[in-house]
């Protein structure tokens, strides 16, 4: 989020410094699976769906722009997402989900078991059906982080890596910069994009919701030839095949603070879920496993927007869908910094506590 906002702010004419306690893209953004799941990941119609759908629509051009600026290809793949129902109850859930998506005019194909298995023969014989979302795509998040860092460097952004922000600097009702362990950095605009660590910055005003870490573990295996082409998305987890034969299996959702351990229990759960959907993965070769900390919010919605202090902006709390929401977030922050109203309704994501109109 930090590098993406930096990119759009540099393009708007700002001089930008990125203060990063580690390396840009070292944390959650490098741990993600990279599903652009505007449909597969969203549970109902509303402003959050619209934010996700709008960001998804930006991705193809975003990938091309990043390749031009950084020479890094983010492996944008448009083979779609197959949301699989494993039993009749999940089948009813899938049917209900297809209904609201079709009402909204989104692209959904409702498939029975044989149609789904024709599309992806690796699927278990015991599935009951699937929804196919042709417009949900995927990228490689590590390459996305590399491309963003390259693009920002190309446009003259200054990286101060290993620099931990400890507090916000304010004057009256205005944010005027931040303090790090090495000194003060004054700025006209401050964008908080600290992922799961965002709430640790001292001096921030009260927010609509806390942002806290929610761990997720992923296993990477390899299959040659590739075992499937489309993302297989179940209600307990997902399988993400890359074109080169890498396959990601994810993910757990664990509330255990800033602990990024990969655990045997986590590996077992993720493997069990993946093999239930695609038993042929049992013979795939294990490559590596990792875990990352999603920036989770109490209401599942990002903390995105301006205020409550002048000059202060938030681009955090994107929880399970921060890769998907990268381009729209950066655009919204750049619009707000320049005093322009974003094209979308972002009121539900406001950083400050929502004021009850009745009170
Ligand atoms: C297992 C897993 C799978 C996921 N899969 C997907 C997916 O398929 N699709 C999708 O869209 N999303 C996915 N996500 C979610 C996505 O990864 C996150 O929503 C997104 O990466 C958040 O980006 P961010 O920039 O806010 O956080 P981060 O990438 O964590 O970046 C925050 C940065 O801020 C730095 N920082 C923090 N505090 C300070 C400080 N005080 N001073 C200086 N620097 C600081 C950190 O070092 C870090 O580099 C997944 C996440 C996980 C963990």
Q: What residues contact residue 235 under an 8 Å CB cut-off, 6+ apart?
A: 85, 86, 90, 93
Instruction: Considering the chain, tell me which residue range(s) the CATH 3.50.50.60 domain(s) occupy.
Output: 2-74+140-210+299-349
Fold of 81-135+212-297: D-Amino Acid Oxidase; Chain A, domain 2 (3.30.9)
E-strand ranges in the chain read: 17-20, 35-36, 81-85, 109-112, 129-133, 137-138, 158-161, 165-171, 174-180, 183-186, 190-192, 211-222, 231-233, 238-241, 246-250, 285-297, 303-306, 312-316
Which tens digit of pLDDT belongs to each residue from 308-340? Answer: 999 999 999 999 999 999 999 999 999 999 999
Q: Provide mean pLDDT across the span 15-33.
A: 96
Which tens digit of pLDDT belongs to each residue from 233-279? Answer: 999 999 999 999 999 999 999 999 999 999 999 999 999 999 999 99
Question: CA angle 159-164-168, nearest 5°?
Answer: 100
Q: Which residue has the tokens 């498939």?
A: 111
Q: Which residue lies with its CA nearest to atom 20 of ligand 1?
A: 322
- Contact, 11 vs 203, CB < 8 A? no
Which tens digit of pLDDT belongs to each residue from 52-100? Answer: 999 999 999 999 999 999 999 999 999 999 999 999 999 999 999 999 9
Q: What is the DSSP string of 299-350?
A: TS--EEEE-SSBTEEEEE--GGGTTTTHHHHHHHHHHHHTTPPPSS--GGG-
Q: With 60 as the cut, is the pLDDT of residue 359 above it?
A: no
State how far the Cα of 319 lies from the Cα of 295, in Å rounded to an integer.
5
Q: Provide mean pLDDT across the span 290-317.
A: 96
Determine the distance separating the centroid of ligand 1 and the alpha carbon of 323, expressed in angstroms.
Answer: 8
Closest CA to 194 of 318, 301, 299: 318
Determine the distance separating the centroid of ligand 1 and the alpha carbon of 144, expressed in angstroms.
Answer: 12
Which tens digit of pLDDT belongs to each residue from 217-232? Answer: 999 999 988 889 999 9
Reported confidence tier of residue 355, pLDDT bands at 50, 70, 90: low
- The helix-helix angle for 141-154 and 2-11 (nearest 10°) equals 30
Protein residues whose CB sits closer than 6 Å to any atom of ligand 1: 1-2, 19-22, 26-29, 31-35, 164-165, 193-197, 200-201, 216, 218, 250-251, 292, 294-295, 316, 318-324
Instruction: Considering the chain, tell me which residue range(s) the CATH 3.30.9.10 domain(s) occupy.
Output: 81-135+212-297
State how far the Cα of 357 lies from the Cα of 354, in Å rounded to an integer.
9
> What superfamily in CATH does domain 2-74+140-210+299-349 come from?
FAD/NAD(P)-binding domain (3.50.50.60)
> What is the residue-averaged pLDDT of the chain?
96
Q: Which residue lies with its CA nearest to atom 3 of ligand 1?
A: 32
Reported confidence tier of residue 358, pLDDT bands at 50, 70, 90: very low
Report, in this order, helix, strand and coil percent for the chain, each rounded to 5.
35, 25, 40
Question: CA angle 27-31-34, nearest 5°?
Answer: 125
Q: With 90 as the cut, is the pLDDT of residue 356 above it?
A: no
- The distance of Cα 37 from the centroid of its chain, to the nearest Å, equals 9
Determine the distance separating the centroid of ligand 1 and the alpha carbon of 87, expressed in angstroms.
Answer: 33
Q: Provide mean pLDDT across the span 331-357.
A: 91
Q: Provide mean pLDDT across the span 341-345.
A: 95
Q: Provide mean pLDDT across the span 141-166.
A: 97
């Amino acid at each position: 989020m930090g590098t993406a906002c930096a990119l759009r702010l540099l393009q708007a004419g700002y001089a930008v410094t990125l203060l990063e306690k580690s390396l840009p893209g070292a944390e959650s953004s490098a741990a993600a699976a990279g599903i652009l799941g505007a449909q597969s990941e969203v549970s109902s119609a509303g402003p959050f769906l619209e934010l996700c759908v709008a960001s998804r629509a930006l991705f193809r051009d975003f990938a091309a722009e990043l390749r031009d600026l950084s020479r890094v290809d983010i492996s944008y793949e448009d083979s779609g997402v197959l949301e699989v129902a494993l039993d009749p109850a999940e089948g009813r859930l899938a049917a209900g989900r297809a209904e609201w998506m079709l009402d909204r005019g989104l692209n959904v194909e409702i498939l029975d078991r044989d149609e789904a298995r024709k599309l992806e023969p690796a699927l278990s014989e015991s599935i009951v059906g699937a929804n196919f979302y042709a417009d949900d795509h995927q990228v490689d998040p590590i390459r996305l982080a590399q491309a963003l860092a390259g693009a920002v460097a190309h446009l003259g952004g200054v990286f101060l890596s290993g620099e931990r922000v400890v507090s916000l600097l304010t004057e009256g009702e205005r944010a005027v910069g931040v303090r790090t362990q090495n000194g003060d950095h004054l700025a006209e605009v401050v964008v908080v994009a600290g992922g799961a660590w965002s709430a640790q910055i001292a001096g921030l005003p009260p927010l609509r919701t806390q942002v806290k870490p929610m761990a997720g573990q992923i296993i990477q295996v390899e299959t040659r030839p590739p075992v499937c082409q489309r993302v297989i998305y179940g209600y307990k987890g997902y399988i993400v095949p890359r074109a080169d034969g890498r396959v990601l299996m994810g993910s757990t959702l664990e509330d255990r603070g800033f602990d990024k351990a990969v655990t045997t229990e986590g590996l077992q759960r993720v493997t069990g879920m993946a093999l239930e959907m695609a038993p042929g993965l049992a013979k795939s070769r294990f490559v590596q496993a990792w875990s990352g900390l999603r920036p989770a919010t109490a209401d599942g919605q990002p903390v995105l927007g301006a205020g409550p202090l002048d000059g202060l902006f938030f681009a955090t709390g994107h929880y399970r869908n921060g890769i998907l929401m990268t381009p729209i977030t950066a655009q919204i922050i750049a619009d707000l910094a320049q005093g322009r109203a974003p094209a979308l309704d972002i009121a539900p994501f406001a950083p400050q506590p929502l004021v009850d109109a009745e009170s």
